[in-house]
Amino acid sequence: MEPPKIWRERREKYLALGILCHECKKKSFPITQYCPYCSSENIVELKLAQTGKILHFTRVSQTAEEMMFYAPYIIGLVELDDGIKVTGQITDNKLEKLSEGTKVRMVFRVLSKNGEEGLIGYGFKFVPI
């Protein structure tokens, strides 16, 4: 990931922010200028719930170069307690010990390392609780 993109997305990724639409009352992630459901501009930032449950998950063996130091790793679709669904790496556990419905909490960790430049990207992952 190039430095300008990391810089632009740092607040959203580091604070785990989404939006709440005042028109249709729906929540969504990631942050956008318009509600993805009703296109309203009447939105506010929303801190995502920090806990949820795994809906689906899989093991990733082949990945981008900046993620190779994690491979193989587990990625999952998580439904947060506020109803927002996000994808993220499931860490600190083995595939055999996970199941759909496993409760997880969001943690802040290293997401990627960019080769020669040594640029480190941070964001959220999930650990079973």
Which is higher by pLDDT, 63 or 106?
106
- State pLDDT tens for residues 85-123: 999 999 998 888 999 999 999 999 887 777 666 677 788
Residues 35-44 have a mean pLDDT of: 97
For residue 125, what pLDDT is reported? 94
Task: Give the chain's end-to-end CA distance (angstroms, integer).
Answer: 30
What is the pLDDT at residue 87? Answer: 94
Q: pTM (2 decimals)?
A: 0.81
CATH number assigned to the domain with residue range 3-128, chosen from the 4 options 2.40.50.840, 3.40.50.300, 3.40.800.10, 3.40.50.2300: 2.40.50.840
Does the pLDDT of residue 11 top 70, yes or no?
no
Half-sphere exposure of 77 (CA within 13 A, CB side): 6
> For the chain, percent helix, then strand, then coil, each to nearest 5?
15, 45, 40
Q: Which residue reads 């990627």 in tokens? A: 112
Residue 53 clears pLDDT 60, i.e. is over it = yes
Annotated domain spans of the chain: 3-128
Going from the C-alpha of 117 to that of each of 4, 67, 120, 124, the distances in angstroms are 14, 14, 9, 22
What local confidence, expressed as pLDDT, does residue 12 receive? 66
Under the banding of pLDDT at 50, 70 and 90, the label for residue 65 is: confident
